A and B are shown apart, each in its own frame.
Chain A
Amino acid sequence: MTTFDSRSLGQASELYDLTIAELRPAAEGVVSLELRAPDGADLPEWQPGAHIDVLLSNGIVRQYSLCGDPSLRDRWRIGVLREPSSRGGSSHIHEQLRQGDTLTVAGPRNNFRLVEADRYLFVAGGIGITPMLPMIRSAAAQGKPWTLLYGGRSRRSMAFLDEIAGLAGGETHIVPQDEMGLLDLQKFLGQHQPDTLVYCCGPGPLIDAVEAKCQVWRAGALHLERFAPSDRAARKEKGSFEVELARSGQRLVIPPYRSILDVLKENGCQVTNSCCAGICGTCLVKVLSGVPDHNDDVLSIEDQEAGEVMLVCVSRSKSELLVLDL
């Protein structure tokens, strides 16, 4: 799943040259790639929700969710939708890559973790099914009740349907639009269920609709991953940037004249603070991804250079997106 139209990696990551052990169609316009180390060695561990950066030979970098089984340590699997407006990312993968080719990747990184809950509702649109597959497997393995709402243009375009049919212990609703219309979000999200976490991945309109329905749910119940930066980001002013709250997937635009702390507070995210001047250090937040632009007076130069924490009252971002451990 492509998450950002980025031509460079957001942070330093270890690179791996992996062999495409299998490349096969997974649905109309979707291919599944299984990647392995050339010597068959185990690959780094990952958890459901993780993604890798794929560095294509044409210089383009794309992010794709890992959609295989985390317990199979010698292989990673990704699903790639050929985007109609592709500018060399997914079209390159579909047209140029062949089984046996080598692909350079970085990661895995995880900004969409599966948080412990009594039950789960997974909402996927199109290729947004990819991060959901390992999440569902994990929920099923733990004996947690789960429900999957999976929508797509048509049954032929919906990837991994056979695999989904074999997942145990849950309730699956496959909704091809040409047969059944849009997902019935009101039915599943219209009423807050306190013991349930909602995970959603898909195109912008679906994410926006799910976000709107979840207004009545408790803060933190909804976890999102978008295919691309939100429309709000696309409309952003010069000097603004986006912050993603890793625990909920919520994205916020920080305008040039407002602090991250102010925008967090406005959106119901409480962060301890006092001075709002970069002196007390009480609003220290862990940075999971992106490059902070430090403006405080109290973090050591070493901590500032490491970029792993920041004070959200005064500091900003040198990258388009900061992912914070909130």
Chain B
Amino acid sequence: MVDVRRVRGGDGLAEINDELDQILDSVVENTRLATESFFASYDKNPDPKVLAAWLAPRAWREIDYVFLLNEQIRRYGLEFERKHITLLAKQSFQEAEHYEIVGKAIESLGGKVPTSVPPEAKPWSDFLWDCLERHPLAAIAAWNCSETSASGSFEPTFKAGERHDFAEVVRVYKQIETDEKFHVGLGRQVLAAYAKTDHDRDEILRAMRGMRDIAWKTFTPESVAQARSA
């Protein structure tokens, strides 16, 4: 009944909607598989610190979105309608709340909340900020893809939460799941409203394709193992 990818507000993506949906479907599926793989590994060794390490790049994403969204508004916001400035700022605030609640969950598991970009999240963060430099809509496309990717992680996380009884993590991600519907819908609306030229659409596609290949990687057990051995 509600499909946030079909949000109204502009037709600038009409020519590339199908391809965007394919990219988003692909990254959601890869993230789901990576999350299932992580929790299959976690089932064998349910060490809370491993779960905390898995959550660390999630926490970094939240705070990096805060930085990025505020810079997006500062650089390009006045090219947008006022309501979109307001909604991007609201998203930024929610991302800050997510950093706080994911941070608390990490600490409750005995982990450390990142205050600088974790090495395993650096390719993701670098790509996002490069997009901001390239084009006014590219970073929005990249985080829209990244935000959408997270939706693939929710169900495997909730199921694992039942198996391992990490209720706080589940509670936190239930809230994030609700807010991400807003963030995904808002990103799509902003892109559709302000994409006017083929160049705009090329940059949007480039950003989404690039993020598709990166966003799921920190959800894998291998990424966590590498981070813990560093």
- Are A and B part of the same complex? yes
Asked if A274 contacts B87 (CB within 8 A), the reply is no
Contact A274/B4 with A279-B87, A282-B178, A282-B182 known, Cβ cut-off 8 Å: no
Residues of A within 8 A of B83 (CB): 277
Tell me, in angstroms, the Cα distance from A210 to B189 when the chains sit together. 47
Query: Is B1 located at the chain interface by the 8 A CB criterion?
Result: yes
Tell me, in angstroms, the Cα distance from A273 to B3 when the chains sit together. 15
Asked if A279 contacts B186 (CB within 8 A), the reply is yes
Asked if B9 contacts A274 (CB within 8 A), the reply is no
Asked if A298 contacts B4 (CB within 8 A), the reply is yes
Write the B72-89 contact mask toward A (1 if CB under 8 angstroms, else 0): 000000000001000100
Closest to B188 in A: A279
Contact A281/B178 with A274-B94, A275-B87 known, Cβ cut-off 8 Å: no
User: Which residues in B have some Cβ–Cβ distance to A below 8 Å?
Assistant: 1-4, 6-9, 83, 87, 90, 94, 178-179, 181-182, 185-186, 189
Query: Is A208 located at the chain interface by the 8 A CB criterion?
Result: no
Residues of A within 8 A of B182 (CB): 274-275, 277, 279-280, 282
Residues of A within 8 A of B2 (CB): 281, 284, 298-299
Asked if B179 contacts A281 (CB within 8 A), the reply is no
Q: Which of A101-129 contact B (CB under 8 A)?
A: none
Asked if B186 contacts A275 (CB within 8 A), the reply is yes
Tell me, in angstroms, the Cα distance from A220 to B35 when the chains sit together. 39
Q: Which of A271-326 contact B (CB under 8 A)?
A: 272-275, 277, 279-282, 284, 297-300, 303, 309
Tell me, in angstroms, the Cα distance from A258 to B26 when the chains sit together. 41
12 A-B pairs with C-beta separation under 8 A = A273-B178, A275-B182, A275-B186, A277-B87, A279-B4, A282-B182, A284-B2, A297-B9, A299-B1, A299-B2, A300-B6, A309-B1
Tell me, in angstroms, the Cα distance from A280 to B1 when the chains sit together. 12
Tell me, in angstroms, the Cα distance from A280 to B186 when the chains sit together. 8
Shortest distance between the CB of A210 and any CB in chain B (Å): 35
Asked if A298 contacts B6 (CB within 8 A), the reply is yes
Chain B binding surface SS class = helix
Residues of A within 8 A of B186 (CB): 275, 277, 279
Query: B90's contact among A275, A284, A298, by CB below 8 Å, is which?
Result: A275
A: number of interface residues (CB 8 Å): 16
Asked if B4 contacts A280 (CB within 8 A), the reply is yes
Shortest distance between the CB of B48 and any CB in chain A (Å): 29
Chain A binding surface SS class = loop
Closest to A276 in B: B90
Tell me, in angstroms, the Cα distance from A303 to B185 when the chains sit together. 18
Residues of B within 8 A of A282 (CB): 178, 181-182
Write the A197-226 contact mask toward B (1 if CB under 8 angstroms, else 0): 000000000000000000000000000000
Shortest distance between the CB of A275 and any CB in chain B (Å): 4
Query: B179's contact among A274, A277, A298, by CB below 8 Å, is which?
Result: A274
Tell me, in angstroms, the Cα distance from A273 to B181 when the chains sit together. 10
Contact A275/B185 with A280-B178, A297-B7, A300-B6 known, Cβ cut-off 8 Å: yes
Closest to A272 in B: B178
Residues of B within 8 A of A281 (CB): 1-2, 4, 181, 185
Residues of A within 8 A of B3 (CB): 298
Residues of B within 8 A of A273 (CB): 178
Tell me, in angstroms, the Cα distance from A297 to B10 when the chains sit together. 10
Residues of B within 8 A of A280 (CB): 4, 178-179, 181-182, 185
Closest to B8 in A: A297
Shortest distance between the CB of A245 and any CB in chain B (Å): 21
19 extra A-B contacts, CB within 8 A, seeds A275-B182, A299-B2: A274-B94, A274-B182, A275-B87, A275-B90, A275-B185, A277-B83, A279-B7, A279-B87, A279-B185, A279-B189, A280-B179, A280-B182, A281-B4, A281-B181, A284-B1, A297-B8, A297-B189, A303-B1, A309-B1
Write the A70-106 contact mask toward B (1 if CB under 8 angstroms, else 0): 0000000000000000000000000000000000000
